[in-house]
Structure 1
Amino acid sequence: MAEQPLHEHTLGNGLRVVVCEDHVVPLAAVNIWYGVGSRHERAGRTGLAHLFEHLMFQGSANVAEGEHAALLESAGAAFNASTSFERTNYYETVPVSHLELALWLEADRMGTLPAALTQVNLDNQRDVVKNERRQRYDNQPYGTAFERLCALTFPEGHPYAHTPIGSMDDLDATTLEDCADFFGTWYAPGNAVLSVVGDVDPAATIEAVERYFGGLPPGPEKPASRPGELGPLTGVRDETLREDVPSPAYFAMFTLPADGGDDIEAAELAVEILGGGSGSRLYDRMVRRDQIATEVWAGVTRLASGQSLAIVDAIGPEPDKIAAVLDEELERFAAQGPDADETARATAQAERGFLEQTETVTGLANALSQNATQFGDPARVFTAPGRAAAVTGDAIKQMAGRWLAPGGRTALTYGGAS
């Protein structure tokens, strides 16, 4: 995708606005990133960022409970929200004739959500989140693996030691006062980026944003962020779990460079070559040749305010053998690096991922909000393929030797030899 012209504007209250024209279809994607996620939660109140994602759909001063979703559905919108370590994201894609409805709804809940925040709403949405935790994590085979690995990888109290889903006890302890304080601290124009992509007129869109959002107060100065740096892991910390799972398995986590620099590009390509699908080294060794695993996968979670994460999942009857073969392949990769074909394939996969991310107005709006929020430059999204293509085999080898060393990871073993 060629770089597209962007129209940027900052309101007097600090809200950053990015508008990109795309006249292929008569749709408009509205995407707002708030710079708050689970890393900003305090001890004893984990899960509050994700809980707030749900509360934001429960009404505001001028929108009754249930009306936010009903209005968007009646407009033919596709909409949702998500929470991660570093941000919370709300988005809707609407027929362009309903763009102002989407902007008004987002502005009303940004400015007036506490007016509709009741104990009933809190109790209901707390139960929804707790049920989500049961269904997606606690009652799923290997469902808590990522959460457990984060707790093993990061020291207690570290901003990334807990995941966005939070704990049952902390959710139970959350009060209306906690919610009001959280909203007042983080849900403010000065802590948000609003991107609009689609069949829009940039000047008219910015004028509409000014009309709906311009009167909102900027909010307080954000609290200082706790540092998230950790560096490469040393040693192997392994926890064995005797849970009722379909098959024994081995899960490993490595730290990687923070997002935003050249090093993460090389490190992510290294992970792709090692375990990114059926053409990877680990799949070829463990599944095809040694037949010690039925599934192997590796992927990266990029983090901008601390170390990014790589995770390797391998399902197979003998986790101890999987761990030993993983060490062998990591050592070989660190010593030899990738060949030219592996580097070319990994670079092509990175370009494909970029195209998939930005091929729709919805995806492009999200990518613009991300790059504006985390790096201060929405246009940075368009340089992603070039950044990946510039990575050399030597850089991949160097990153593998530093961050994916055989003796530097945390691991979970499910079952295994007794």
Structure 2
Amino acid sequence: MTKASCLLVAVALISLTACSPTPNASLPAGVTLIEKVQASDDTLVIPYSKYRLANGLTLIVHEDHSDPLVHVDVTYHVGSSREEPGQSGFAHFFEHMMFQGTEHVADEEHFRLITEAGGTMNGTTSSDRTNYYQTVPVNQLETVLWLESDRMGFLLDAVTQEKFEVQRETVKNERGQRVDNQPYGRLGESVAQALYPPDHPYSWPVIGWMEDLNRVNVNDLKKFFLRWYGPNNATLTVGGDVNSQEVVRLVDKYFGDIPAGPAVSPPTAPEVALDRTRYLSLQDNVHLPLLYIAYPTVEAFHPDEAALDVLMQILGSGRNSLLYQNLVKSQQAVQAQASHGCSELACQFALLALPHPSAGMSLDKMEQAIRDSLQEFEQRGVTQDDLDKIKVEIYTDAIFGLQSVQGKVSQLASYETFLGNPDFIQKQVDRYKSVSKEDVMRVYDKYIKDQPSVVMSIVPAGQPQLAAREDNYQPPVRPQLGPSDTKAEDLSFRTTPKTFDRSVRPKPGPNPAVTLPVYWQDKWANGIEILGTDNPETPTTALLLRVQGGAYQQAPEKAGVAGILAAMLTEDTQLRSSEEMSRALDKLGSSILVSATDESLDVFVNSLSENLPQTLNLLEEFLFMPAFNPDDFDRIKNRAIESVRNAKKNPGYLANEALRELLYGKDSIAGMPRGGTEQSLASISLADVKNYYQTWFKPAEAELILVSDLDKQAIFANLDKMQAWTGSAPDAEPVFGEPVYQPGSIYLVNKDEAAQSAIRIGKRGLKKDFTGEFYRTGLMNFPLGGAFNSRINLNLREDKGYTYGAGSGFGGDSYVGRLTVSADVRADVTVEALKELYGEIRQYAKEGIDKNELAFLRLAINQQDALEYETPYAKLSFLAQILKYDLEPGFVKARARIVDNITAKEINALAEKHLQLDEMVTVIVGDAETLKPKLQELDKPVMDYHLE
């Protein structure tokens, strides 16, 4: 799906009643009601009221009284596409700066206040828009509007050179973590440089070129803000348990006085055309070479976009696609897929493949295989199934999107920003309904067949000969610009009048009453325990089946067998092929996923309730009639091995697995990767998988959790085979090894020329509980590393600019637990960052929590409940833990009492007990040759470490 079509995430069966723009006597002066959409029966739409303030701010209000929460989204119609060459990355930079305090909100206060209110928040930047959003208990709405309005109207005086420098380092760390230190991380920006002309705004990455950020000064950033971040270029969308008139009153109070910025015109889409196919290559620290073919097509909401999406699905989405059948199923490729990513100014149709090393497929042969698949499509054409699948997907995505207020708010905000019309859902669905077979063939002929493309080869470092062809294109060299000389006096500032005291934080009302899911219990004769709850908000059913047989039950020498079994349980059955099963699920709009966790095999089902009988029939066929086809086994096993090899190029994976080995021992099942090692996976046979299935996939002590608008009898009536299922798994506790590290030592894993170092500090901990010492250690850790405003994150990210993020946490399950402190930091400050982490841990263990942190903890933890049970998935997770840990119904209230009554003395005792640095081990993944001499200066043993 394209970005545009994926935006279709919320829908209700209602019809439109629109008002022409008109003032309303009940509205504040200067506020105009643009339209009102009300519920009915015959049109797909989300009900809303749309207003416009005199300063140009668009306000959309959606009332949803199902949960006592509110979601607030502010979307500015500015992304990297509004930037100028030589000034890339500004929009993304401002995403960071907008959290750094304003004239009336102190530094880091935005995160603290939202966390303290029991809410969640973030911001995102794309090529075309930037949005900031919060979900909070409904009594905190005015606080959110106060915060958002202050950074729209009172930001620039608080943007200092010091903050600018710190956030510039944070952005560099973000790029290092997400791009430079990731396998294939530079793929997107490399293709964009070849696909678009140098002055096209999509030719540079959203995060920007670091040399651009290095050359500009704080006044350049302020100039960008003054141009694009006015209320007339923003949409404020509020959804949840609110009253529209009250929202309008508050929005007018906080936003109405903010002056409009310069006029903003919709951007125009420059033509993108290639004169010939451009070949280029990139050497990277990767295990497998990658081939990527990209064609320029249209832009989002273009009349041809929907037909190109259908073409994309036929070629490379799902098990019935041509690329999967021709390349993955035949084991010529580990992965092969298509995509059609659409943005406001351009779309990109892409075909991607990673050759399977055992197939001997070079990238030039892979390119030919992909082009042969295109030729096959020309002969195959389009089937009715192809059209039906995407139409069902559109509809079901819409229904599932109704499950969260955030989904509906995001949908309204996006359509308003890009189309000026929040009521586009029906039109969006109609676009796909109207696609014909002829449309798909027409867009193939126009945009893909014999058209020039960009062909990108990413090859392992030192192996340029693996590229599909010799490079015939080099991106133009970016001009080397000198430092910016923009001065404060060059800027045209706007002043927001202060008609009330904005320094006073709004006082929230009483915490809303939160209703916990009312659940029912049952148990079948075969031993399956069942927990369910009614969810009448959407006509959907979510089901989770948990069966013994997770990674802990594996023999260490066969680690990975549980994951292979999980994958095989959605392959061929004794009655149908996996392609036939996939096609049947697609037509229903249902999904069935099976995964292996440490403790269990988890089967997750999502379905429209009207299609539940057919979906459960397919589920039982998957689970009780697997074919265990040898070809499926070979493909899944080989893919698992390649996945492990590829993961070893990721420093975060290396750090986490090294820590696991040191805590539990290389020969312990807990010390091995959940998915196995290359050696253990290679030793697994199909007989091993069948034996594991016969031994562990049993109903006794299994758990079934249901969240549905149907009653349990209606669901049980379609689970005959599951109720007739019999058998018990062995009664065997997993055996865990002892720690194998020298306490207080540093273990160094080499990754040549790493842009960042991955740091992990840890020790064994308590197994999970919900009201005991484990739960209390989590409270103790909250101010140290459990929130954005924690000591560790504020120090390393906000004060020092060493990292994109750092934190700590106590994790656990039914058997074991551990403490992990983690940070990925700039390579050149590895030792300095490690010293800061050690210092924070020591200080907290010695001095403990302060009174402000304790007050913050109590407010933040106890106000989170309003957000905990909104969606079916959230309810499913809540019920699953009740069943797994045999919790009493009152455990939520018991935990609230613990939070209310826990003392600083108790927290400090827990810190002193669990945070002794000399008991911990440190793992660092980075360039060992550079780091080792510096680490040895810390007066700690430093040992080279190699993963199995």
Same fold (TM over 0.5): yes
1:130-182 deviations in Å (ceiling 9; x for gaps): 11101111111111101111111001111111120111111111211101101
Query: Following the alignment from structure 1 to structure 2, what is the Cα–Cα distance between the partners of residues 259 and 114?
Result: 33
Structure with greater proportional helix content:
1
- Contact conserved, 2:293 with 2:456, CA < 8 A, in 1? yes
Q: Does residue 286 of structure 1 match 2:327?
A: yes
2:276 is aligned to 235
Equivalence for 2:442: 398
Counterpart of 2:424? Answer: 380
Which AA in structure 2 matches 1:39?
Answer: S
Residues 138 and 242 in structure 2, CA contact (< 8 A), matched pair in contact too: yes
Q: Which residue number in structure 2 is paired with residue 83 of structure 1?
A: 125
Match of 1:215 among 257, 264, 285: 257
What corresponds to 1:412 in structure 2? 456
Q: Which residue of 1 aligns with 2:346?
A: 307
Counterpart of 1:393, as a letter, is K
Match of 1:245 in 2: 286
Equivalence map 1:221-370=2 (5 Å): 221-222=263-264, 225=267, 227-230=269-272, 233=274, 235-289=276-330, 291-304=331-344, 306-316=345-355, 317=357, 318-334=362-378, 336-370=380-414
Aligned-pair distance for 1:342?
Answer: 1.8
Distance 1:260 1:5, change over 3 A: same
Give, in angstroms, the shift of residue 23 of structure 1. Answer: 1.4
**In the alignment, does 2:226 pair up with 1:184?**
yes
In the other structure, the counterpart of 1:20 is 62
Residue of structure 1 equivalent to 2:135: 93
Structure 1 residue matching 2:71: 3-state secondary structure? strand
The change in CA–CA distance for 1:328 and 1:356 in structure 2 (over 3 A counts) is: farther
Offset of 1:223 from its aligned partner? 6.8
1:313 maps to amino acid: L
Q: Partners of 1:250 and 1:288 in 2: how far apart?
A: 18
Q: Note if contact 2:298-2:304 (Cα within 8 Å) is conserved in structure 1.
A: yes
Contact 1:15 1:193 in 2 (8 A): yes
Residue 537 of structure 2: aligned partner? none
Pairwise CA distance, 1:308 = 1.2
The answer on whether the counterparts of 1:327 and 1:406 sit within 8 Å (CA) in structure 2 is no
In structure 2, the gaps of 5 or more residues are 1-10, 13-44, 460-464, 468-948
Determine the C-alpha separation between the residues in 2 that align with 1:198 and 1:385.
24
Aligned-partner Cα distance in 2 for 1:36–1:107: 17
Asked whether the 8 Å contact 1:35–1:88 carries over to 2, the reply is: yes
Task: Spell out, residue by residue over 1:93-138, the C-alpha distance to the aligned partner (whole angstroms, 9 max, x if none).
Answer: 1111111111111100000110210111111111111111011111
1:58-84 deviation digits (Å, cap 9, x = unpaired): 011110000011001111111111111
Q: 1:310 to 1:11 in 2, by over 3 A?
A: same
Superposed CA deviations along residues 288-340 of structure 1, whole A, max 9, x for unmatched, are: 13x22101122222222x22122222111422122112112223324543211
Q: Which of 48, 70, 77 is residue 90 of structure 2 equivalent to?
A: 48
Q: What residue number does 2:158 align with?
A: 116
TM-score by length of 2: 0.43
- In 2, distance between residues paired with 1:22 and 1:202? 11
- One-letter code of the match for 2:264? K
Q: 2:180 aligns with which of 103, 124, 138?
A: 138
In the alignment, residue 116 of structure 2 is paired with which amino acid?
S
1:161 aligns with 2:203: yes
Checking the alignment, whether the CA contact within 8 Å between 1:368 and 1:381 is kept in structure 2 is: no
- Partner-residue secondary structure (3-state), 1:31: strand
Match of 1:74 in 2: 116
**What TM-score results when the alignment is normalised by the length of structure 1?**
0.94
Aligned partner letter, 2:238: V
1:33 maps to 75
Say which SS state the counterpart of residue 131 (structure 2) adopts. strand
Q: Could you give the per-residue CA deviations for residues 268-289 of structure 1, whole angstroms, max 9, x where no partner exists? A: 1211221123332111111113
Q: Deviations over 1:372-400 (max 9, x none)?
A: 01101011134333322221121112112
**Counterpart in the other structure of 1:174:** 216
Contact 1:25 1:198 in 2 (8 A): yes
Give, as a single letter, the amino acid of the residue that structure 2 aligns with 1:263. D
Aligned residues: 415
Q: Secondary structure at the match of 1:89?
A: strand
Partner amino acid for 2:429?
Answer: P
2:47 matches 1:8: no
Range with greater deviation from structure 2 (273-282 or 55-64):
273-282
Farther-moved stretch of structure 1 (338-347 vs 80-89):
338-347
1:118, 1:176 within 8 Å by CA — same for their partners in 2? yes
State the secondary structure of the residue aligned to 2:67. Answer: coil
Q: Aligned equivalents of 2:399 and 2:205: distance in 1? A: 28
The answer to whether the 8 Å contact 1:250/1:314 transfers is yes
Gaps of 5+ in 1: none
How many Å apart are 1:22 and its aligned residue? 1.3
Mapped partners of 2:381, 2:297: distance in 1 = 17
The answer to whether the Cα contact below 8 Å between 2:296 and 2:346 also exists between their aligned partners in 1 is yes
Q: Is the alpha carbon distance of 1:167 and 1:58 closer, same or farther for their aligned partners in structure 2, counting shifts above 3 Å?
A: same
Map Cα deviations across residues 212-265 of structure 1 (whole Å, 9 max, x no partner).
10000011123784643325x453211122322110110122222211233111
The answer (yes or no) to whether the contact 1:159–1:228 under 8 Å persists in 2 is no
Output the CA distance in 2 between the equivalents of 1:224 and 1:28. Answer: 30
Q: Report the more deviating stretch, 399-408 or 260-269.
A: 399-408
- Percent identical among aligned pairs is 34
Tell whether the 8 Å contact from 1:358 to 1:367 is kept in structure 2 after alignment.
Answer: no
CA contact (8 A) 2:118 2:136 kept: yes
2:304 counterpart letter in structure 1: D
Change (3 A) 1:225 1:295: same
Q: Check the 8 A contact 1:271/1:300 in 2, yes or no.
A: yes
- Contact 1:14 1:189 (C-alpha < 8 Å) held by counterparts: yes
Deviations 1:30-85 (A, max 9, x none): 11110111011111111111011000000111100000110011111111111111
Cα RMSD after superposing both structures: 1.8
**What is the distance in 2 between the residues matched to 1:386 and 1:307?**
22
- State the distance in 1 between where 2:448 and 2:88 align: 30
State the partner residue of 2:171.
129
Higher RCO by CA contacts (8 Å cutoff, separation 6 or greater): 1
In structure 2, relative to structure 1, the CA distance for the partners of 1:46 and 1:204 (3 Å cut) is same
C-alpha distance in 2, partners of 1:128/1:383? 41
3-state SS of the aligned residue for 1:195?
Answer: strand
What SS class does the counterpart of residue 92 from structure 1 fall into?
strand
**Shift in alpha-carbon separation, 1:30–1:257, aligned structure 2, 3 A:** same
**Paired residue type of 1:307:** A
Instruction: Name the amino acid aligned to 1:275.
Output: G
Structure 2: which amino acid aligns with 1:86? D
CA distance in 2, matches of 1:214, 1:344: 47
Q: 2: distance between equivalents of 1:299 and 1:353?
A: 18
1:389 equivalent in alignment to 2:433: yes
